[in-house]
């Protein structure tokens, strides 16, 4: 009897039921060929994760369930799929069906995360027990789904009433002996999260006293990223981890860590008990590239266009775009105004040349003068920001004209620090179908730019771009620091508030000036209207702007006063 179980680390397309079914069948075939006795998909692999409001369509749920149940594979497969509700007055389940041999429903998810980017209580009815696939290729297997395993080691933000891992442990005490427990996951990425996910697997294996196997989705869907890194962990803490950002199959060997095999790009990592996984230094860079690349692929977008200002953000955005869709499919447009420096044009050109992307010059001076003069009555005596924004919006208009004319997607180049402070122009630099840097703090943008240069082996982002003081160049001699704290300070204040949930008093106690902290948090609150209209951005931090960020909009007052 073989003890090889295949974890199908797939990159599904949300909503593409037939395509996802083919993908699962293809990966299962590879697994069978390598001698796996059965395979396990990721969570909701048939629909892709997150299916969001598609789950409100009865016919969608039924179609997923039918297709998952009728998968025709050589070896049995535990397939993650939405399953129809048990009554007309209840919700569907987030379930697992067994396909390939005797078709049956195995289990439904018990713990439905409803925080941050998760909305599962909107869509699913919770089950009350984990499942057992008995007997599958001679093994008895406990079956859990993603969050089900996270309560056990306290890795959820709040406690659930039940603990599915503890339930299986209890069954063991009562004589239900299992050979392994599997977990079908769509566990989203954020920087340094893999450490927690591995701890979850080790904790489960230790308590269960048998191997715990977690198959995780990989790739980007909308604003969510999944890093893969499927895991098998043993009770002693030994673990084998699949590569990140790469689709493939991990053939696990229940009795031998060294026997675990990866079918796909990259290699497994074997961790001794207690040993931690080092996320590569350029993991974040891979995350951002995957996000944009998958967004384009899954939306049928093959070309990208963006404004190239000569500044750090657009330079890195161009690097990401060229890595995501190929330099030949990227167009960077330099759009100098009368406030632009020569170095802005030179740096933009140098970036385009180094990347090999298409470069276009479209000075806006004449249009700027024309709009200035057409709007002179409006601008005269009005707030100066109106004139500054004109330039950003003319650029947005030009970039969008390129995009619309050529069937390309414009990308917005703003970062999280700017977006958090409203230091960006609606319909100007915020225009675009995706904001690849939208969840990166400014100092992370610098760091990724240097990494990208290193990877490319040349200065795609020029030294001049990397070292000159950041400027929007919308007014003479304008510098970001005229309006904002220095970025290292700003980033830290934003991070303490957004990621760690600290309030003004607590942040001040960390050594930041009270006035600065108050200004930063007030601007954060006052610019919520911009974030309601920002393009989707790949989520790489513990807390990102976007669908998981639901601040009230109209309440602009600072309630702390």
Active-site residue, selected from the candidate residues 4, 64, 120, 146: 146
Asked if 500 is part of the footprint of its own copies (rule: CB under 8 A), the reply reads no
Q: Which of 108, 210, 393, 539 binds its own copies (CB under 8 A)?
A: 393
Please identify, among the stretches 56-64, 138-146, 174-182, 461-469, the one whose residues bind its own copies according to the rule CB under 8 A. Answer: 56-64
Asked if 515 is part of the footprint of its own copies (rule: CB under 8 A), the reply reads no
Asked if 405 is part of the footprint of its own copies (rule: CB under 8 A), the reply reads yes
To the query of whether residue 109 is one of the catalytic residues in this protein, the response is yes
Active-site residue, selected from the candidate residues 4, 64, 109, 296: 109
Asked if 300 is part of the footprint of its own copies (rule: CB under 8 A), the reply reads yes
CB of 460 to its own copies, least distance (A): 25
Q: Structure tokens of 540? A: 């790489």
Integer angstrom CA distances of residue 206 from 210, 230, 239, 266, 521: 7, 18, 11, 28, 43
Site residues for its own copies, window 217-246 (CB under 8 A)? Answer: 221-223
Asked if 57 is part of the footprint of its own copies (rule: CB under 8 A), the reply reads yes
CB of 246 to its own copies, least distance (A): 19
Return the H-helix or E-strand segment holding 38: strand 38-40
Asked if 370 is part of the footprint of its own copies (rule: CB under 8 A), the reply reads yes
Q: Is 3 helix (H, G, I), strand (E, B) or coil?
A: coil
Asked if 477 is part of the footprint of its own copies (rule: CB under 8 A), the reply reads no
Asked if 295 is part of the footprint of its own copies (rule: CB under 8 A), the reply reads yes
End-to-end Cα separation, the chain, in angstroms: 69
Token pair 């796996």 is found at 36
To the query of whether residue 146 is one of the catalytic residues in this protein, the response is yes
Asked if 376 is part of the footprint of its own copies (rule: CB under 8 A), the reply reads no
Asked if 298 is part of the footprint of its own copies (rule: CB under 8 A), the reply reads yes
Q: Which of 176, 361, 374, 514 binds its own copies (CB under 8 A)?
A: 374
Specify whether the CB–CB gap between 44 and 81 falls below 8 A.
yes
Q: Is 71 helix (H, G, I), strand (E, B) or coil?
A: coil
Asked if 389 is part of the footprint of its own copies (rule: CB under 8 A), the reply reads yes
Asked if 289 is part of the footprint of its own copies (rule: CB under 8 A), the reply reads no
Asked if 478 is part of the footprint of its own copies (rule: CB under 8 A), the reply reads no
Asked if 495 is part of the footprint of its own copies (rule: CB under 8 A), the reply reads no
Asked if 48 is part of the footprint of its own copies (rule: CB under 8 A), the reply reads yes
Please identify, among the stretches 268-276, 290-298, 315-323, 350-358, the one whose residues bind its own copies according to the rule CB under 8 A. Answer: 290-298
CB of 560 to its own copies, least distance (A): 8
Q: Is 306 helix (H, G, I), strand (E, B) or coil?
A: strand
Question: How does DSSP assign 385-445, residue by residue?
Answer: HHHHHHHHHHHHHHHHHHHHHHT-EEB----HHHHHHT-S-TTTTT-SSB-TTTTS-HHHH
Return the H-helix or E-strand segment holding 339: none
Specify whether the CB–CB gap between 430 and 421 falls below 8 A.
no
Residues 516 and 452: their CA atoms lie apart, in Å, by 32
Asked if 429 is part of the footprint of its own copies (rule: CB under 8 A), the reply reads no
Q: Which of 22, 33, 34, 58 binds its own copies (CB under 8 A)?
A: 58
Q: Which of 16, 101, 105, 179 binds its own copies (CB under 8 A)?
A: 16
Asked if 501 is part of the footprint of its own copies (rule: CB under 8 A), the reply reads yes
Give Cα 518 distance to the centre of its chain.
30
Please identify, among the stretches 21-29, 268-276, 298-306, 311-319, the one whose residues bind its own copies according to the rule CB under 8 A. Answer: 298-306
- Comparing CB distances to its own copies, the nearer of 356 and 501 is 501
Specify whether the CB–CB gap between 452 and 427 falls below 8 A.
no
CB of 357 to its own copies, least distance (A): 16
- Comparing CB distances to its own copies, the nearer of 50 and 76 is 50
Residues 13 and 11: their CA atoms lie apart, in Å, by 7
Specify whether the CB–CB gap between 10 and 217 falls below 8 A.
yes
Q: How many residues bind its own copies (CB under 8 A)?
A: 93
Token pair 């180049």 is found at 413
- Angle made by CA atoms 481, 486, 487, in degrees to the nearest 5: 110
- Comparing CB distances to its own copies, the nearer of 173 and 383 is 383
Integer angstrom CA distances of residue 303 from 164, 293, 332: 46, 11, 11
Residues 362 and 33: their CA atoms lie apart, in Å, by 55
Q: Which of 2, 26, 29, 52 binds its own copies (CB under 8 A)?
A: 52
* Angle between helical axes of 283-299 and 312-325 (0-180°, round to 10): 60
To the query of whether residue 120 is one of the catalytic residues in this protein, the response is no
CB of 220 to its own copies, least distance (A): 8
Q: Structure tokens of 330? A: 């990227």
Closest residue by Cα to residue 14 from 44, 40, 57: 44
Site residues for its own copies, window 526-545 (CB under 8 A)? Answer: 529, 532-536
Active-site residue, selected from the candidate residues 43, 120, 147, 388: 43
Closest residue by Cα to residue 147 from 94, 194, 105, 190: 94
Asked if 299 is part of the footprint of its own copies (rule: CB under 8 A), the reply reads yes
Asked if 549 is part of the footprint of its own copies (rule: CB under 8 A), the reply reads yes
Catalytic residues: 43, 109, 146
């Amino acid at each position: 009897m073989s003890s090889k179980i295949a974890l199908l680390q797939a990159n599904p397309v949300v909503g593409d039921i037939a395509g996802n079914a083919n993908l699962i069948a293809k990966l299962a075939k590879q697994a069978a060929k390598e001698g796996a006795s059965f395979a396990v998909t990721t969570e909701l692999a048939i629909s892709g994760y997150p299916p969001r409001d598609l789950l409100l369509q009865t016919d969608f749920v039924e179609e997923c369930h039918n297709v998952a149940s009728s998968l025709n594979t050589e070896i049995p497969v535990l397939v993650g799929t939405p399953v129809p509700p048990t009554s007309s007055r209840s919700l569907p389940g987030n379930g697992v069906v067994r396909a390939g041999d005797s078709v049956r429903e195995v289990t439904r998810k018990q713990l439905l995360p409803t925080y941050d980017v998760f909305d599962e209580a909107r869509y699913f009815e919770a089950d009350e027990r984990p499942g057992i696939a008995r007997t599958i290729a001679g093994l008895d297997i406990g079956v859990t789904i993603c969050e089900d395993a996270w309560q056990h080691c306290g890795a959820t933000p709040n406690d659930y009433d039940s603990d599915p891992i503890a339930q299986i442990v209890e069954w063991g005490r009562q004589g239900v002996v299992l050979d392994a427990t599997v977990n079908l996951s769509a566990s989203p990425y954020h920087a340094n999260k893999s450490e927690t996910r591995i701890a979850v697997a080790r904790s489960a294996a230790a308590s269960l006293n048998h191997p715990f196997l977690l198959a995780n989705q990989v790739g980007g869907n909308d604003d969510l990223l999944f890093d893969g890194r499927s895991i098998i962990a043993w009770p002693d803490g030994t673990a084998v981890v699949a590569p990140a950002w790469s689709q493939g199959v991990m053939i696990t060997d229940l009795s031998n860590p060294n026997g675990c095999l990866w079918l796909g790009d990259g290699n497994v990592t074997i961790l001794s008990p207690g040993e931690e996984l080092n996320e590569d230094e350029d993991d974040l860079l891979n995350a951002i590239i995957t996000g944009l690349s998958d967004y384009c692929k899954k939306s049928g977008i093959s070309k990208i266009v963006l404004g190239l200002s000569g500044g750090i953000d657009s330079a890195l955005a161009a690097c990401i775009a060229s890595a995501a869709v190929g330099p030949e499919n990227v167009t960077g447009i330099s759009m100098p105004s009368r406030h632009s420096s020569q170095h802005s044009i030179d740096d933009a050109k140098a970036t385009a040349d180094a990347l090999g992307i298409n470069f276009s010059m479209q000075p806006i001076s004449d249009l700027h003068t024309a709009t200035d003069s057409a709007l002179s009555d409006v601008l005269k005596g009005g707030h100066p920001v109106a004139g500054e924004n004109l330039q950003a919006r003319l650029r947005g208009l030009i970039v969008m004209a390129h995009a619309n004319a050529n069937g390309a997607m414009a990308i917005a180049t703003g970062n999280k620090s700017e977006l958090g402070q409203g230091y960006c122009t609606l319909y100007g630099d915020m225009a675009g179908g995706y904001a690849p840097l939208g969840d990166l703090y400014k100092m992370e943008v610098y760091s990724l730019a240097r990494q990208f240069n290193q990877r490319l082996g040349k200065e795609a982002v020029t030294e001049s771009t990397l070292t000159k003081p950041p400027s929007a160049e919308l007014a003479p001699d304008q510098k970001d620091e005229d309006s904002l704290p220095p970025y290292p300070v700003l980033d830290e204040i934003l991070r303490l508030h957004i990621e760690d949930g600290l309030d003004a008093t607590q942040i001040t106690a960390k050594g930041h000036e009270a006035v600065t902290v108050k200004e930063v948090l007030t601007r954060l609150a006052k610019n919520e209207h911009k974030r309601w209209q920002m393009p989707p951005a790949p989520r790489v931090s513990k807390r990102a702007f976007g669908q998981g960020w639901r601040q009230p909009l109209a309440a602009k007052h600072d309630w702390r006063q």
